[in-house]
Structure formats: structure tokens, C-alpha cells
Amino acid sequence: MLVEKLAGKQIAEEIRQRTLANLVLKQIIPEVEIQVVSGERIADSAISIKKLVKKYDEIIALDDLNLDIKQGELFGLLGPNGAGKTTTINILSGLVAPTKGTAIITGFDVTKNLKKIKSLIGLCPQKASVFNFLTGRENIELFGNLHSITKTDLEERMSNLLEKLGLQEASKRQVKGYSGGMLRKLNLIIALINDPKIVFLDEPTVGMDPRARRATWDFIKALKNKGKTIILTTHYIEEAEALSDRVGIIDYGKLIALGTPKELMEKHKTKNLEEVFLKITGRRILEGI
């Protein structure tokens, strides 16, 4: 599968860069021992991941991952580059298949009930997935038609989402002239156009200015208040702290921390979630320098 091959190459390169950075930093920053945690089993969970493994040739992207996410929960999934965040979302959304283990969404196995699951989820991917030669509205209409939404419902949902995210005027223009923040908003609208029960937001505010980011935070909170289950990945740790009911931190494909932001801060005796992240991922946070 082309998507899987491209994903494998990207992950392999990220892990290679991390390994090189770690070798350089090894002499100046002490190694941090990783303690793997296991997600608690939750009755009637929206998402249940059990012993999930994903390999791209010899690269292990996910390593025996266990995690349950509650119905109506806003769950923050954090980790350094190449930790396995996007791979997890790609498996849950049916873009790639797991090597081993199970991933269940509202009772449906992602490897066996993909058509049903597609009707339940919305995905805002890490990178913009739109057609530059179309207008914003045309992109939304195209993806809406893939979900077989009636013309009336599509127009109503589209107008509502465009207004809430401030893209009414921009939606009439070709996407090729959009800024990074505008593209993120457009992808967010596309992810929500089928009114999904579960929403995957992979770096939803990248490229946004501070004002747009805060407005998008309020929009995401409103989605949560409507009962939607939201899985958020972000490198803005303060974003996860402000929005998430619970947070899971993964590194090298393993879950190494799980709890509410407050619980994690109390456990690790820190003032904020970013300090928790720095503390338990250790020198690996510096991989991108």
C-alpha cells in the first residue's frame, strides 16, 4: 500500500535522526530510564487498543501499545517526533494496518469493519490533504459527497463550520493561496463534515498565529462539550494541558505516562505538563536540534 510505504520511509528517517542526536547527546545529558505503563480497561470505551504493534520492515513504530479512551473524552497523545503518535492515528483511522494486536472503535475492529468505522470518525491529518486548484468550498463539497451527505445537510454543516472557523470569505478562493493556518482550518472542517462521533486531530493548530490558535482551542472545547470523543496530538504541550481530560505520553512506540494533566504534574512534582514531558522523555526532547 502506497500510504504505508510512504509512512514507513518517514518514520524510518525520524528514528534515524533521533538515534544520531542521542549518540551526540549521550555524553552530556544522562539517560532517562523509560517506565512503560499500561492503560486501564474502561467499560464501553470509545477506543480500545490492545497489544498493538506496527513494524515498517525492521523499524518498530508501535511496540505492544495498550490504551483505552473513554466516550466523550478529549485525550491528548504526546511524544517526541517518531514516537508513534501519527502511526497510532493512522491505524485507528484505517490508513495503515497493524502488524499485530487489536484496535477497536465503538465495538468495531478497525481491520474488519473499516466501512462502518469510516462513518463514525473524522480525521484532520498532520499534513494538508486538499486539492489546491479547487476553492475551499469545493474541497469541502467533494469530501462531503464521499460521505453521501444530502445536499441540504452538506450546505448547512459547511456554512456553520465556515462561520465558526472564520473561513467564509476565504472559502470562495482557490486553496493554493491559503496560509498554513487557513489550510489547518479547512482540514478541520473536512474532518467534521460527516458529523463524526470520534475525531482525530493530528497537530490541528500548526501554522496558526496565537489568536487563531486560541480561537481553535475554543472550537475544539465546544466539540468536546457536544459529546464528541477527540484524540489530539500536538507538540504544543500547553495546548494539551489546556484542552485534555487525560494525556498519554508515548516514546519509541511505548506508553510511558498516562493520567490527567494534574495527576501527572503531581506525580512528577512539576509546575506544568511541559516539565513532565521534558522530565520523562529526558534527552530525547532534544532530538530535533
Architecture of domain 2-120+196-288: 3-Layer(aba) Sandwich (3.40)
Instruction: State percent of the chain over pLDDT 90.
Output: 77
Tell me what pLDDT residue 282 has: 75
Paired sense of beta strands 47-56 and 246-251, if any: unpaired
Tell me what pLDDT residue 5 has: 56
91 close to 43: Cβ distance less than 8 angstroms = no
The model's confidence at residue 30, banded by pLDDT at 50, 70 and 90, is very low
| Residue 42, CA distances (Å) to 69, 85, 91 in order | 7, 21, 20
Q: What is the pLDDT of residues 210-226, one digit of tens each?
A: 999 999 999 999 999 99
**Given the C-alpha cell 470569505, which residue does it identify?**
169
Q: What is the pLDDT of residues 178-203, one digit of tens each?
A: 999 999 999 999 999 999 999 999 99
Tell me what pLDDT residue 24 has: 36
Domain ranges of the chain: 2-120+196-288
Mean pLDDT of the chain: 87
The model's confidence at residue 22, banded by pLDDT at 50, 70 and 90, is very low
Q: What is the pLDDT of residues 223-260, one digit of tens each?
A: 999 999 999 999 999 999 999 999 999 999 999 999 99
User: Between the CA atoms of 262, 264, 270 and 274, what dihedral angle is there, to the nearest 10 degrees?
Assistant: -90
Tell me what pLDDT residue 199 has: 98
Tell me what pLDDT residue 11 has: 57
Amino acid letter at 27?
Q
CA 161 to chain centre: 20
Q: pTM of this prediction? A: 0.83
pLDDT over 90 (residue 17) = no
247 close to 78: Cβ distance less than 8 angstroms = yes
Considering only CA atoms, which of 146, 220, 223, 157 is closest in space to residue 193?
A: 157
Tell me what pLDDT residue 19 has: 46
Tell me what pLDDT residue 29 has: 36
The CA angle 251-86-71, to the nearest 5 degrees, is: 95
Q: What is the pLDDT of residues 136-151, one digit of tens each?
A: 999 999 999 999 899 9
The span from the CA of 66 to the CA of 48, in Å, is: 8
